[in-house]
Chains A and B, each alone.
Chain A
Amino acid sequence: MSLSAVWISLQLASVTVLVLLVIGTPLAWWLANSRSRWRVPVDALVALPLVLPSTVLGFYMLILLGPAGPIGRFWVAATGETLTFSFTGLVITSVLYSLPFVVQPIRDAFAAVGRGPMEAAASLGARPIDAFFSIACPQSARGFLTAAVLGFAHTLGEFGAVLMVGGSIPGETRVVAIAIYEHVEMLEYGAAHTLSAGLLLFSFVVLVAVYTVNRARHPVLLR
C-alpha cells in the first residue's frame, strides 16, 4: 500500500511538473515582460497558493471540478468520467497548487535575462519565437531547473488539497503524504517513520542539489 502511494506521488509530481513547464513558461514570460495593467493582479493570483491554506484550494477545487461544477460538468460531458477522485483531478489541483513554485523562478530568470539580449538577437535577424528558444530559454536554464525541482518537491509534499480532491483512493489518488497521515493516525509510527524520513531525505537531497548547482555560477536565482 505504501509503495503504491510512493509510486503515485512520483507519477503525480512528474506529470504536474511537465504540465506546469508547458503552461508556466509562457505565463512566466508574459509576467516578466508585459506592461499590461493586468500583470500585477495576475502576478498576485499566481502567488495565491503560497499564502492560502491548501484546504481552501481543495475546497474550491471540489466545487469547480465536481460533476455539477463548471469545469467538472464539461469534463463529464466530454469524457464520461468525473474529475474529482481521479488522477487527472489530482494533476489539475497540484498544477494550481504548485503554480508559483514553477512560474516564479522562471519569471525571475526571464527578467534577469532582460531585453538586452533579446534586442541583440532581433538585430541579428532572429524572429521573437526564435530568440525566445535560442536566447531566453538557455540563458534561463537555472531558473528552469529550480522551477522543476521546487515544483516536483512541492507536489510530492502536498497534502491538504490532494486529500480533499482525491479522496484517498488506493492505487489512484492515495499519495505518500496521505499515507503518512493515515499511518500516524493509526499509530503505526514505524511505517510513518519510514515514509516520512524517506520524503524528508529526498526533499533535502534535491534542495541541496539545486542550491549547489545554483551557487556554482549564478547566485541570483535562489536565495
Chain B
Amino acid sequence: MNIPPVEFDLALQRDGFALTAAGVVPTGVTAVFGRSGCGKTTLLRCLAGFESGCTGQIRHGDVVWQSARVRQPAHRRQVGMVFQDARLFAHLSVRQNLGYAYKRRRGRGPDWHEVVAALGVEGLLDRWPAALSGGEAQRVALARALLTGPALLLLDEPLAALDYGRRREILPLIAGIPERFSIPVVYVTHSRYEVLELADRVMLMERGNIQAAGSVSEVFSNPDHWSLLGNMAPTVIWDAQVVARDNDWGLTILATDAGRLRLGGLDVRPGQSLRLRLTARDVVLVPGQPAVSSLLNTLSVQVDEINDYPRGVVHVRLRAGSGAVLWAEITRQAAAGLRLANGRRLYALIRPQVLRINH
C-alpha cells in the first residue's frame, strides 16, 4: 500500500523564540527529539494546525494543508493527535470518547473493533476518564485518535507521565501502528531510549531548528550528534537481518554491515530485522584471533582514528566488514600494550545489545 509522505517547511516567530523547520515524514515512526524548549512540541502543534502564527507549507501527498494561500483549520486536516495529558473528555465515558471520534471520522479509517482490540481497551469502554490510570488513559487516547481515520498521527510525549512498566506496555502498541493501520507516526520525546526502541527515523531539534534528520542508526552513530543526544558515550546503531537459526545451540544468525553475528536468547524468524546497539565499553580489542572466548562474536577490524580522552581513556574508531564503524573505549595503558596506530589490524570481541525487533 502506497502511503504518501507529509512534507513541511514551516516558520513561527514568538517572543524570544523562532521556529524554522523543514522535513519529510515518511511512513513508519519519526521521532522528534530534543531538550525541553527546543520547539519540538511547537512543531507538532504547527503540523496539527493549532498555531495560528505558523507560516509556511504543509502537504500530504497532493493535498495542501497549508501554504501561502491555503490554511486548513485543525479539524479539516487528517491529523490524529495524542497529548501528553491524554485530554479525554471528562463528561463522556470511554465508549463515548471513542464514539466522538468515530462519528467525526474523516475518510476511511480503521475498523472500530480492530482499534479497540489492538489497544486493549475493550474492558475500559464503560469506565469514566476520571477512573482510568495514566496508562489506560493514554491507550484510550491512542484508540480515539486512530478512530478519526487520520492520515498522520502526532504523539506529543504520550508516555512522559507514565512509569517504566506502563511505558514498556505501550511502546510496542505505538511501534505497531504504522504497519498495522498504514499511518505514519510523528513521536515527540525527550527520551533517547524511546527513540531507540520505537523510531525508524529521527529529527534532532535544537533552538527551533532541525539539526539533523535521518534513520536512527545514521543519526545516533554520528559523533557530531552525541552531545545533542545527551552526552552519549561513543555508540553505534546497526540494523541487522535475521538470516538463519542454529537450533542445535539456540542461536540466531544475523547479517550486518560488520559481518555475520550470532546472538542467543532471541525469539525471531528469518527475514525479520533487528536494531542493535554497540557501545564503546562493550568492545574488547585483542591482537590475534582468540581460539575461544565467552563472547561469541569476533570481528576483524582496522584502526581508523584514535582520540585521547581525559582521565587515561582512549576512544578508538574501528572499521569492520563492508565499512561498518564501531568504537572501543580502552585505557591508555592498554592502547600502548596493543601498539595502537592508524591502520593497525586487530580483533574485536563484541557484545551487541538488541534494542528492538521489527515484525
A126 pairs with B87, CB closer than 8 A: no
28 A–B contact pairs at CB < 8 A? Answer: A116-B87, A117-B87, A119-B83, A119-B87, A120-B83, A120-B88, A121-B75, A121-B89, A121-B100, A122-B49, A123-B48, A123-B75, A123-B79, A123-B148, A124-B80, A124-B100, A124-B101, A124-B104, A125-B75, A126-B75, A126-B104, A127-B73, A127-B75, A128-B73, A130-B104, A134-B100, A138-B91, A139-B91
Q: A15 at interface (Cβ–Cβ under 8 A)? A: no
Chain A positions near chain B (C-beta within 8 angstroms): 116-117, 119-128, 130-131, 134-135, 138-139, 141
B-chain residues with CB within 8 Å of residue A126 when the two chains form the complex: 75, 100, 104
Judge if B85 is at the interface, Cβ distance under 8 Å: yes
The reply to whether A139 and B90 contact each other, CB–CB distance below 8 Å, is yes
Besides the contacts A119-B74, A126-B104, what 10 more A-B pairs have beta carbons closer than 8 Å? A116-B83, A116-B87, A117-B87, A117-B89, A119-B81, A120-B89, A123-B79, A124-B145, A125-B75, A127-B73
Question: Main secondary structure on chain B at its contact with chain A?
Answer: loop
- As a 0/1 sequence over residues 41 to 56 of chain B, the CB contacts with chain A under 8 angstroms (1 = contact) are 0000000111000000
Interface size of B as a range: 20 to 34
* B106 part of interface (Cβ distance < 8 Å): yes
Q: Which residues of B contact A (CB under 8 A)?
A: 48-50, 73-75, 79-81, 83, 85, 87-91, 100-101, 104-106, 144-145, 148, 154
A138 to B92, CA, bound (A): 10
In the bound complex, residues from chain A placing their C-beta under 8 Å from that of B88 are 120
A123 contacts B90, C-beta separation under 8 Å: no
Prevailing SS type, chain A contact patch:
helix
Chain B residues within an 8 Å CB radius of A123: 48, 74-75, 79-81, 145, 148, 154
Contacts of A125 in B (CB 8 A): 75, 101, 104-106, 148
A134 to B154, alpha carbons, bound, how many Å?
23
Return B110 CB to nearest CB of chain A, in Å. Answer: 14
Contacts of B73 in A (CB 8 A): 122, 127-128
The total of interchain contacts (Cβ-Cβ below 8 angstroms) comes to 64
CA distance A126 to B74 in the complex (A): 9
Nearest Cβ in chain A — how far from B151, in angstroms?
12
| Closest A residue to B50 using CB positions | A119
A135 CA to B88 CA in the complex, in Å? 11
Distance to closest chain A CB from B52 (angstroms): 10
Q: How far is the CA of A95 from the CA of B85 in the complex (A)?
A: 40
CA distance A122 to B73 in the complex (A): 8
5 nearest A-B pairs in the assembled complex, by CB-CB distance: A125-B104, A122-B74, A123-B81, A120-B87, A124-B101
Contact A124 B148 (CB under 8 A): yes
Residues of A within 8 A of B104 (CB): 124-126, 130
The chain B residue with its CB closest to the CB of A119 is B50
Q: Among A122, A125, A138, which residue has the most Cβ atoms of chain B within 10 A? A: A125
Q: How far is the CB of A3 from chain B (nearest CB, A)?
A: 41
Determine the chain B residues whose CB is within 8 A of the CB of A128 once the complex forms.
73, 75
Residue of chain A at shortest CB distance from B79: A123
In this complex, which of B79, B91, B145 has the most chain A Cβ atoms within 10 angstroms of its Cβ? B91
| Nearest-neighbor residue (CB-CB) of B100 within chain A | A124
B74, closest chain A residue (CB): A122
CA distance A122 to B203 in the complex (A): 26
Residues of A within 8 A of B91 (CB): 138-139, 141
Query: Which residue of B has the minimal Cβ distance to A140?
Result: B91
Most buried by A among B49, B80, B87, B106: B87
